[in-house]
Amino acid sequence: MVVRFGVIVLAIFVLNVNALFCELQSSCKGCTSTPGCFYNAAESTCENLVRAPFTNKINVINIPYDCPIPQPEAFPYTDAFGRDRAFLFSAASNGENKTQVEACLKKVNAQFYSQYTIPCDWLNQNCSGYIAINPNEKSIVLTFRGSKGSTQFYTEALNLLTYGSRRSSLVDGDVFTYFIDAFEKLWAAGIKTDLETLKAQNPDYELWTFGHSLGGSLASLASVAAVKSEMFKKEKVKSVTMGQPRTGSLEYAISHDFYVPYSYRIVHAKDLITKLPFKVLPGQPNAYHHRFEVSFV
Ligand SMILES: *[C@@H]1O[C@H](CO)[C@@H](O)[C@H](O)[C@H]1NC(C)=O
Ligand SMILES: *[C@@H]1O[C@H](CO)[C@@H](O)[C@H](O)[C@H]1NC(C)=O
């Protein structure tokens, strides 16, 4: 009895000391590195984890990676870039062939270079992407198509709901298998060699990667692969995706931000795809979004 009472007193003591300890942490990084504490983003305070369930989930930050940081000054997000570039190039990825993609590219004065459409999953459904040259803004633009049709959507969702993932030498960290399988195939189907050729012909050009949904995940992977393979310097790469699902693990997310600092995910708050695979536990490391999120609520 005495022992049990002692344990309770000790537990209360530890919690209180810990709570005091949390309040001493003023920075988000320091706070989230301290066991038993979380950072309250709304109040900019460090609090004891026991208070987390009573705090709006969106303001609870548990790990240093999620601490707020300013967007890169060299490439702040603009509505114009999102609407007039990422969106228009992504829409063109739905063209069935050169003629159709070219018709869409007229709106952005870009030139079609090549389209890559290959079977990318066990049901032999196609994944697709294309490269365009954008001389006015000195960029090579690599854009991927989103999932097409309900069979592809459900095959992809099945993978995401079971969290199947693996590593690849093209990127760092675990990536969900639907995305990495498709990406490795597309990369090898000519995208890698064509990018190398275009880079050699236009050494000062940037690389832009775009895509919606599945295409967003592929664009994220492509931007990392282009920098990791030293084809492009990170300052020369811009990636903007729309409705991108969680693409890989926390390790992938952290490495993505290292390789591709100029990157934005445009997210509609009610879009379920961007919640997949579900992150159920706080800090769950196998399904993580990378920076920076542009959220439309
Ligand atoms: C491109 O695709 C459209 C729609 O499927 C088709 O009508 C057109 O003939 C195709 N053009 C070429 C050049 O294959
Ligand atoms: C995949 O793409 C090829 C070439 O564009 C096309 O012939 C084929 O019908 C497509 N397959 C599916 C399942 O859509």
Q: Does ligand 2 come within 6 angstroms of the Cβ of 59?
A: no
Q: Does ligand 2 come within 6 angstroms of the Cβ of 117?
A: yes
CA separation for the pair 16, 32 (Å, rounded): 18
CA separation for the pair 293, 297 (Å, rounded): 12
Would you say 112 and 129 are in contact if contact means Cβ atoms under 8 Å apart?
A: no
Q: What CATH number should be reported for the domain holding residue 87? A: 3.40.50.1820
Q: What's the average model confidence in pLDDT over 270-289? A: 82
From the CA of 146, how far away is ligand 2's center (Å)?
15
Q: Does ligand 1 come within 6 angstroms of the Cβ of 94?
A: no
Q: Verify that 253 and 125 share a domain, yes or no.
A: yes
Q: Verify that 156 and 22 share a domain, yes or no.
A: no
CA separation for the pair 229, 143 (Å, rounded): 19
The total number of structural domains that make up the chain: 2
Q: Verify that 47 and 112 share a domain, yes or no.
A: no
Assigned token pair, 277? 């695979």
Q: Does ligand 1 come within 6 angstroms of the Cβ of 137?
A: no
From the CA of 150, how far away is ligand 2's center (Å)?
15
For residue 73, is it within any domain? no
Q: Verify that 97 and 143 share a domain, yes or no.
A: yes
Assigned token pair, 9? 């007193």
Q: Verify that 14 and 157 share a domain, yes or no.
A: no
CA separation for the pair 193, 183 (Å, rounded): 14
Would you say 181 and 258 are in contact if contact means Cβ atoms under 8 Å apart?
A: no
Nearest ligand 2 atom to the CA of 125 is 13
Q: pLDDT tens for residues 144-201? A: 999 888 888 888 888 887 888 999 999 999 999 999 999 999 999 999 999 999 999 9
Q: Verify that 193 and 237 share a domain, yes or no.
A: yes
Percent of the chain clearing pLDDT 90 (strictly above): 76
Instruction: Residue 22: give the domain boundaries.
Output: 2-66
Q: Verify that 233 and 117 share a domain, yes or no.
A: yes
Assigned token pair, 15? 């919690």
For residue 74, is it within any domain? no
CA triple 251-146-275, angle to 5 deg: 50
Q: Verify that 32 and 112 share a domain, yes or no.
A: no
User: What is the rounded average pLDDT for all residues in the chain?
Assistant: 91
Among 66, 93, 109, the domain boundary falls at 66
Among 20, 37, 66, the domain boundary falls at 66
Would the pLDDT of 38 be above 80? yes
Q: Verify that 53 and 198 share a domain, yes or no.
A: no
DSSP 53: G
For residue 123, is it within any domain? yes
From the CA of 125, how far away is ligand 2's center (Å)?
7
From the CA of 90, how far away is ligand 2's center (Å)?
19
Q: What CATH number should be reported for the domain holding residue 29? A: 3.30.1680
With 0.85 as the threshold, say if the pTM is over it: yes
